[in-house]
Structures are given as C-alpha cells and as structure tokens.
Amino acid sequence: MAQIQFSRGINEEVVPEVRMFRAKDGNTGRAMFYFENPRALQTDSTEEITGMYMIDEEGEIVTREVKGKFVNGQPTALEAIVLLQSQGEWERFMRFMERYAEQNDLGFTKSQ
C-alpha cells in the first residue's frame, strides 16, 4: 500500500508526473510532483489541502511545499516539491516511489 494524500484520510486518485533531481555528491535531492486535475481540487471536495502526504507501510513522508495552478481563475493542477536532505531521506523516498510505481503501473526513465 502506497498512497498520496493532500488532506489526511483522502487518497488522491490522479497519478502524478514525477521528476527527480539528485546532487552530484548523491547526498541531497528533490522530487517535483505535478497532478493534472487532481481529485483534491474537484468542486465537490470540501477538505482543506494541508500538504502532500506519501504514506506506505514504513510510515509517511510529508511536504508542505504544495502550490495550485489556475487557469481563468479555476484550479487545474497541483505541484508539490519534496526536498531530500540526506542519503537516508533519498533512499526512503525511493522505496516509497518503487511501491507507488508498482501499484500504479508507472515507469522510470533515467536521464542521460
């Protein structure tokens, strides 16, 4: 079980585009998530977005770096950034992503 939530207890159904960046020394990095028309922004959703929570059997990874994208005053997307400050955080994040990718049929393409 690997889920992403923007409000505690409500799983996001839209699978994001994810881009990962790692420092040359391998100790730090960041991941950028882009959710196009996520459930959290649907008009029938009344829950407040309090962050992005990545939850699996090991626990959770939390980021408060969540921004909305708007077109003509209407919310259309959410962007979230996860900062990874150590080798341990990077490895934990990758374990979550492996579980999430397997569960959602995602692929991984390494940049050249």
Q: What is the pLDDT of residues 15-45, one digit of tens each?
A: 999 999 998 887 899 999 999 999 898 867 7
110 has pLDDT over 80: no
CA 100 to chain centre: 10
107 has pLDDT over 80: no
Residues paired with residue 81 on neighbouring β-strands, in sequence order: 32
Predicted pLDDT of residue 73: 87
Per-residue model confidence as pLDDT tens digits over 65-81 = 999 999 998 889 999 99
Identity (one letter) of the amino acid at 22? R
3-class state of residue 94 by DSSP: helix
**Rounded to an integer, what distance in angstroms lies between the CA atom of residue 94 and that of residue 47?**
28
**Rounded to an integer, what distance in angstroms lies between the CA atom of residue 33 and that of residue 12?**
13
For each of the domains in the chain, give its residue range(s) and CATH number, in order of start. Answer: 15-104 (2.40.30.220)
